[in-house]
């Protein structure tokens, strides 16, 4: 009987763990894989690459004043040393990533 309970508990734990993975937004997942290496985990550009490339943090006044549309354009077309993502991400993916990035403004 205890084996059945153990197996049931394990199955429940695995299904809940899988559900947590899906709770992450598309924008958050893309940010973590494509952006965080330069922009940092929280947008502060405190990563090694961000420091070397002198990426401005989300807290910089020049970044803070950018509208969502301006940030979307920068991601799509590239900006400074940042490569364009128009051929790598869809417009919806770019928008959701920018929306996630802007959560660091709060």
Residue 18 lies in a domain: no
- Could you tell me where the DSSP H helices lie in the chain? 2-23, 26-30, 36-39, 48-52, 61-64, 68-77, 91-102
How confident is the model at residue 15, as a pLDDT?
Answer: 46
Per the structure, the complete domain to which residue 32 belongs is given by 25-105
How confident is the model at residue 23, as a pLDDT?
Answer: 55
How confident is the model at residue 25, as a pLDDT?
Answer: 84
Q: How many domains does the chain fold into?
A: 1
**Residue 30 to residue 22: CA distance in whole angstroms:** 13
Residue 31 lies in a domain: yes
Residue 44 lies in a domain: yes
What global pTM score does this model have?
0.76
CATH number at residue 76: 1.10.760.10
- Selection from 67, 84, 65, 68 nearest residue 76 by Cα: 84
Mean pLDDT in order along the chain per 10 residues (106 residues): 47 44 78 97 96 96 96 96 96 97 93
């Amino acid at each position: 009987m205890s084996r059945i309970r153990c197996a049931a508990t394990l199955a429940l734990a695995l299904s809940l763990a899988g559900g947590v993975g899906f709770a992450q937004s598309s924008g958050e997942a893309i940010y973590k894989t494509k952006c965080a290496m330069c922009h940092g985990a929280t947008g502060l550009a405190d990563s090694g690459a961000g420091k070397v490339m002198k990426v401005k943090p989300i807290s910089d006044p020049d970044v803070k004043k950018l509208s969502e549309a301006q940030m979307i354009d920068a991601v799509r077309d590239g900006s400074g040393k940042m490569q364009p993502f128009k051929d790598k991400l869809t417009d919806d993916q770019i928008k959701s990533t920018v929306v996630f990035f802007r959560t660091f403004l709060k």
